[in-house]
């Protein structure tokens, strides 16, 4: 049944390795980011002591956002490398860089042990995480897109990106297990480090799986035909500005919504709503697990109905449920917190069913990873990485627990306006030359990209 969901007639062993390899890397990347967000309170105590709780959390989330500042730079570096030398090599490098940087956070001296050097080294590690994530987050979907059957591209990318939410659930379980296994004093002293240290063995497992995949057939043909773009950054900025702007606007809502779920709600439930750490983690785990399950279904729906209908319907859904979701989350009960987050996760999966394929499908093959990296990482730097900081700041300065919900609705309405003007990309062929994708009405768009 799963094979039929992914590909009519089933999938080959090589195809399954591509999905597993790409999904594993996405899993490790977002495991690393998730444990930082989920450990915000512990990190504030270890690296930013002596501040009032709100200021300490703002410092932690500022360091969280630093990684997103580095993402566009990493995206440019690794994106251009992927377009010049191949997607597969870049996927090795980004995975190991992310795993090492995350494990190092688990070894850093605290402020009490090293003074200002503790927070400084934390920021350096976050920069390394962001730099590698900037390449991973676009190289993996591009790699999957270029391997995927024509009629299941949205489904395959939905599975790949869905692994990010599954990673967040695993991160939650690890943190819950550690906090339950040791005393509060021991967890504050060293227990919070264990989830970070686990990133290194996870990265090594992911590297082993990725080494068993083959290079993208699209890139192989570009190389055979001497169609590799020598200056992908310059070409992307010169020839795809309108498309890059559309990707930025579309992915702004995906980035903001996802990082509210994975990077902010656990802390929000503890500091604003007043739920216990364990109940906050558990409520968030339910929402993220639903995201991991629903996003591939959203991708499958986009394979049937198109990317644009999913973008329009999803943005409208987020705008409609954004405030009710926050109202439920702020009610103070565990059940309402779960339902509120589930509402938001479901709406984001409708939108994500279109957005996560749209942003790589829209661009020409020779500059796909570079172009996607520019816009996607810029959107995440502006809206995703700042989501926990802006949410905490809005509550602090307004005294209004619902303030982050109004912000989310405003971005959703802006994304809806842009989504309504985008072109449909479901019917285009993933091109093998450096030309722009064929239009939906062209004869070349009729069948498989393979």
Walk along the chain (450 residues) and give the pLDDT tens digit of each residue: 555 556 655 566 777 788 888 888 788 878 877 788 778 778 888 888 876 677 777 788 787 778 888 888 999 999 999 999 999 999 999 999 999 999 999 999 998 898 889 889 998 999 998 899 899 989 999 999 998 888 899 999 999 999 888 888 888 889 888 988 989 889 888 999 999 999 999 889 888 888 888 898 999 999 999 989 888 988 888 878 899 999 999 999 999 999 898 878 888 888 888 888 888 888 988 999 999 999 999 999 999 999 999 999 999 999 999 999 999 998 888 999 999 999 999 999 999 999 999 999 998 889 999 999 999 999 988 998 888 888 889 988 999 989 999 999 999 999 999 999 999 998 776 544 344 444 343 333 333 333
Q: Are 199 and 125 in contact (CB under 8 A)?
A: no
Within 10 Å of residue 190's Cβ, how many Cβ atoms? 13
Between the alpha carbon of residue 51 and those of residues 55, 117, 202, the distances in Å are 6, 17, 34
Q: What is the pLDDT of residue 307?
A: 96
The tokens for 115 are 């003074």
Q: Are 367 and 138 in contact (CB under 8 A)?
A: no
The secondary structure of the chain in percent helix, strand, coil, rounded to multiples of 5, reads: 80, 0, 20
CA atoms of 328 and 402, how far apart (whole Å): 10
Q: How far is CA 145 from the centre of its chain?
A: 16
CA atoms of 363 and 237, how far apart (whole Å): 12
Q: What is the pLDDT of residue 15?
A: 76
Residue 115, sorted as left (phi over 0), alpha (psi -120 to 50) or beta, turns out to be left
Q: What is the pLDDT of residue 359?
A: 92
In this prediction the pTM is: 0.83
Nearest to 167 by CA among 354, 292, 16, 317: 292
Q: What is the pLDDT of residue 430?
A: 59
CA atoms of 393 and 232, how far apart (whole Å): 38
Nearest to 264 by CA among 255, 122, 27: 255
The tokens for 78 are 């690794």
CA atoms of 264 and 400, how far apart (whole Å): 16
Domains and their CATH numbers in the chain:
2-226+239-445 (1.20.1250.20)
Largest CA distance in the chain: 67
Q: Are 356 and 299 in contact (CB under 8 A)?
A: yes
Q: What is the pLDDT of residue 418?
A: 96
């Amino acid at each position: 049944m799963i094979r039929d969901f992914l590909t009519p007639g089933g999938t080959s062993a090589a195809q399954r390795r591509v999905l597993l390899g790409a999904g594993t890397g996405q899993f490790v990347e977002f495991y690393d980011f998730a444990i930082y967000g989920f450990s915000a309170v512990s990190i504030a105590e270890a690296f930013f002591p002596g501040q009032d709780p709100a200021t300490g959390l703002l410092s932690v989330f500022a360091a969280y956002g630093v990684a997103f500042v580095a993402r566009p730079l990493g995206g440019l570096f690794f994106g251009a490398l992927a377009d010049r030398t191949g997607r597969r090599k870049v996927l090795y490098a980004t995975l190991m860089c992310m795993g090492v940087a995350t494990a190092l956070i688990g070894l850093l001296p605290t402020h009490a042990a090293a003074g200002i050097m503790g927070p400084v080294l934390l920021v350096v590690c976050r920069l390394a995480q962001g730099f590698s994530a900037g390449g991973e987050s676009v190289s993996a979907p591009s790699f999957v897109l270029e391997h995927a059957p024509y009629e299941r591209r949205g489904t395959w990318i939905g599975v790949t990106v869905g692994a990010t939410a599954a990673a967040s659930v695993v991160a939650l379980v690890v943190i819950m297990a550690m906090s339950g296994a040791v005393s509060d004093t021991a967890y504050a002293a060293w227990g919070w480090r264990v989830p970070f240290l686990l990133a290194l063995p996870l990265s090594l497992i992911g590297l082993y799986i990725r080494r068993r995949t083959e290079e993208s057939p699209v890139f192989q043909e570009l190389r055979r035909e001497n169609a590799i773009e020598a200056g992908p950054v310059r070409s992307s900025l010169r020839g795809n500005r309108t498309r890059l702007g559309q990707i930025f606007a579309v992915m702004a809502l995906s980035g903001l919504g996802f990082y509210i779920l994975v990077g902010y709600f656990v802390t929000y439930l503890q500091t604003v709503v007043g739920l216990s750490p364990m109940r906050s983690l558990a409520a968030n785990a339910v929402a993220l697990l639903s995201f991991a399950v629903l996003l591939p279904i959203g991708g499958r729906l986009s394979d049937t109905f198109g990317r644009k209908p999913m973008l329009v319907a999803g943005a409208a859904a987020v705008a409609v449920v954004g405030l009710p979701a926050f109202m439920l989350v702020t009610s103070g009960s565990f059940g309402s917190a779960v339902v509120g987050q589930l509402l938001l996760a479901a709406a984001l999966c409708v939108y994500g069913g279109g957005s996560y394929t749209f942003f790589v499908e829209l661009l020409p093959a020779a500059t796909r990873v570079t172009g996607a990296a520019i816009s996607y990482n810029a959107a995440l730097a502006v809206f995703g990485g700042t989501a926990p900081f802006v949410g905490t700041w809005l509550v602090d300065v307004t005294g209004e627990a619902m303030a982050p919900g109004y912000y989310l609705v405003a971005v959703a309405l802006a994304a809806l306006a842009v989504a309504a003007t985008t072109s449909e990309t479901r019917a285009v062929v993933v091109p093998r030359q450096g030309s722009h994708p064929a239009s939906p009405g062209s004869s070349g768009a009729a069948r498989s990209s393979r």
